[in-house]
Amino acid sequence: MFKARGTSLFVLFLCGSIYGVFAFTSLFVTKSRVRNPKPLSFFASTTPLQPFLPSVDPDNVIILKDAAAVSRNIQSIVTEAARKAISERGHFALAIPGGSVLKMLVNLPSFDEWASKTTLVYVNHKCVAMDDIDRSTHAKAMKLFLGDWERAGLNTIVLDGTADGEQEARRYEEKIKSLEDTKLPRDSRTGLPQFDLALIGVGDDGHIGSLYPNRDEVLVDESGPWVLCVPMKNPPSITLSLPLMKAASKVVVAACGVSDKYPQGKSAGMKRAIIDDETLQSFPAAGLRDKATWVMDEAAASKLGPNYHIQ
């Protein structure tokens, strides 16, 4: 009897110790997700941390003939959003990414109508000098179109231009928070700023902004930071959080273009972004399924199936 009782006590002690370690680890991970997101490639690659996300409603997917048609459509969306915002409250708040979306904004014919009443924020940006033409989205945008926009009066919120990712994220969030409500309204429920329009690009791996797959940054919720440091590469980058992207009045994802290397353009990525079984961490772009309007060319849409048609 004594031996059995001793064995039982030992088992209870062992179970209690394991539970204590599990509880401590869970608390540590939960807190670190908001304060200092870390890669979680092991968990993301073995079991989904979230359920699969519903596919995009076909009504929210615009398929056009080619890249030129996509660019014209994006320019029309920007112009319409600017005119609407300025007519309603006198100012237009626009968020843009880097990459191929920049080229879609070149030669936008209506910018002089609304540039002087517009504030522009970057969805993401590398922590480099703002005049670094090889690595700075701001420098590339200035060369392509933003120089003309700024000369017409547009206000661009830029980074400080250091390599300190944590500091740049804090400072960029402070700059966004300092904008008056008349220039960048706040959501009455969450307190998050509401851009009138957020343009988003999607990488082949599913990243949006600098929210990359198999990492924790994409899991930051509405209570977390607005701007995150992503130290995945050197130099690091900063990115708007997913809730901040989705808080915009209108979110538009644009994808187009083909090459010898990718004759079907971004078709594989768009299939994963729009209809495949994906979670936030496996393919972050899927996190915009319930919010965004998706604009793409025929090549990018070629794997979506019969429910999605060219317009």
pLDDT one-digit tens code per residue, 175-218: 999 999 999 999 999 999 999 999 999 999 999 999 999 999 99
CA 97: distance to chain centroid?
8
pLDDT confidence tier of residue 155, bands split at 50, 70 and 90: very high
Give the model's pLDDT for residue 257: 80
The CATH code of domain 36-301 reads 3.40.50.1360
Residue 129 is predicted with a pLDDT of 98
Six-digit token string for 256: 């187009």
Rounded Cα gap, residues 43 and 114, in angstroms: 47
Q: Identify the bridge partners of residue 39 per DSSP, sorted by sequence position.
A: 215
Residues of the chain above pLDDT 90, percent: 79
What would the mean pLDDT of 25-49 be, rounded to a whole number?
Answer: 40
Q: How confident is the model at residue 81 (pLDDT cuts 50, 70, 90)?
A: very high
Residue 50: predicted pLDDT: 72
| pLDDT grade for 311, boundaries at 50, 70 and 90 | confident
Mean pLDDT of 75-100: 97
Per-residue pLDDT of 94-142, as tens digits, reads: 999 999 999 999 999 999 999 999 999 999 999 999 999 999 999 999 9
Tell me the DSSP string of 141-161. HIIIIIHHHHHTT-EE-----
Classify burial at 118, counting beta carbons within 10 Å of its beta carbon; exposed 0-12, middle 13-18, buried 19 or more: buried
Amino acid 310: pLDDT: 87
User: For residue 130, which of 115, 100, 116, 150 has the smallest C-alpha distance?
Assistant: 150
Residue ranges covered by each domain of the chain = 36-301
Confidence of residue 259 (pLDDT cuts 50, 70, 90): low
pLDDT score of 12: 40
Segment 254-269 shows an average pLDDT of: 80
Of 30-34, 61-65, 300-304, the range with the lowest mean pLDDT is 30-34
Over range 156-172, report the average pLDDT.
98
- The amino acid occupying position 179 is L
Confidence band of 262 (pLDDT split at 50, 70, 90)? low
What distance lies between CA 9 and its chain's CA centroid? Answer: 52
Confidence of residue 260 (pLDDT cuts 50, 70, 90): low
**How many whole angstroms separate alpha carbon 75 and alpha carbon 110?**
9
Average pLDDT over residues 69-85: 98
